[in-house]
Amino acid sequence: MQHSDPDDLFDRAEMPVAPFEFNADVARVFPDMVRRSVPGYADLVALCGLVARRVARPGTRCYDLGCSLGAVSLAMLARTPSGVGIVAVDNARAMVDGLARRLAEVPGGERVRVCCADVREVEVADASVVALNLTLQFLPPQARAGLLARIRDGMVPGGVLVLAEKVRFDDAAEAALVTALHEDFKRANGYSELAIAGKRAALERVLVPEPAAAHEQRLREVGFTRVTRLYQHLNFVAWAAWT
Ligand SMILES: C[S@@+](CC[C@H](N)C(=O)[O-])C[C@H]1O[C@@H](n2cnc3c(N)ncnc32)[C@H](O)[C@@H]1O
Ligand SMILES: O=C(O)C(=O)C[C@]1(C(=O)O)C=C[C@H](O)C=C1
């Protein structure tokens, strides 16, 4: 795991909490935060590397969109041959700076091009694998189809998009159970009631989850030919969408 300070941000947050932002404080604790907050996070990252190993070919690129500190880029780097380029994109300066520092210490790190940019503004071309690991959920819902369509257009035949998202359940009983289990997961990982409630409030209207079926329908509407659910742990779901 990458170096991380322990995440105590929401034990120290002032009330009312400010909307969640990927700032320098979050970047400093991010590996600890995401591991303790997202059930199956390590599996999701590993899955992106495994898909890259199966799908990426020399002369093509892998994209890690919304890369944070680059866990997915590092998994792709470890699993692909040297002729595969890797492009890591994030619009949070503290995240891309952290990734650049990490890459300077990793053999072959120069194979990863790091861009501080909005994912809606980067060119996607010759892509065999694109990962959106917990990123699409932070875009305004009306911007999501446009981004997915541009990704689709930039992919080579046989390419795969790995999309992982926190999903919403519209059935009240399902939503209540899965949310309670997710909060139990956080408690078991040492988060206090205050921290859980504070983060919930901070993510309101910042992370906008959609039902799994809405993701699947939109992936098909923008032109992916197959949509395969690869993974689910509670309210976190990952799909492979095929060109
Ligand atoms: C939950 S984190 C992603 C975790 C990361 N993919 C991983 O596997 O460790 C979401 C990331 O998306 C980035 N992000 C959100 N909206 C973005 C946008 N419009 N353009 C670029 N990056 C964005 C955030 O800065 C943040 O680093
Ligand atoms: O903590 C939560 O409930 C989350 O939704 C986790 C989540 C995400 O899914 O992207 C939210 C913010 C980030 O810090 C990391 C993970």
**Residue-wise pLDDT tens for the chain (243 aa)?**
578 999 999 998 788 899 999 999 999 999 999 999 999 999 999 999 999 999 999 999 999 999 999 999 999 999 999 999 999 999 999 999 999 999 999 999 999 999 999 999 999 999 999 999 999 999 999 999 999 999 999 999 999 999 999 999 999 999 999 999 999 999 999 999 999 999 999 999 999 999 999 999 999 999 999 999 999 999 999 999 999
Closest of 81, 76, 88, 84 to residue 113, by C-alpha = 88
174 lines ligand 1 (CB under 6 A): no
- Among 4, 37, 185, 191, the mutation site with the greatest number of ligand 2 atoms within 8 A of its Cβ is 37
pLDDT for the residue numbered 1: 57
Residue whose C-alpha is closest to residue 68's, from 132, 15, 130: 132
- Give the ligand at the shortest distance from the Cα of 35: 2
The reply to whether the predicted model has a pTM over 0.90 is yes
- Check: CB of residue 134 under 8 Å from CB of residue 38: yes
Q: Is the CB of 36 under 6 A from ligand 2?
A: no
Query: What is the pLDDT, as a whole number, of residue 2?
Result: 75
235 in a labelled binding site? no
Is 38 among the annotated ligand-binding positions? no
Distances (CA, A) of 82 to 27, 45, 58: 29, 20, 7
Q: Check residue 3 and give its pLDDT.
A: 81
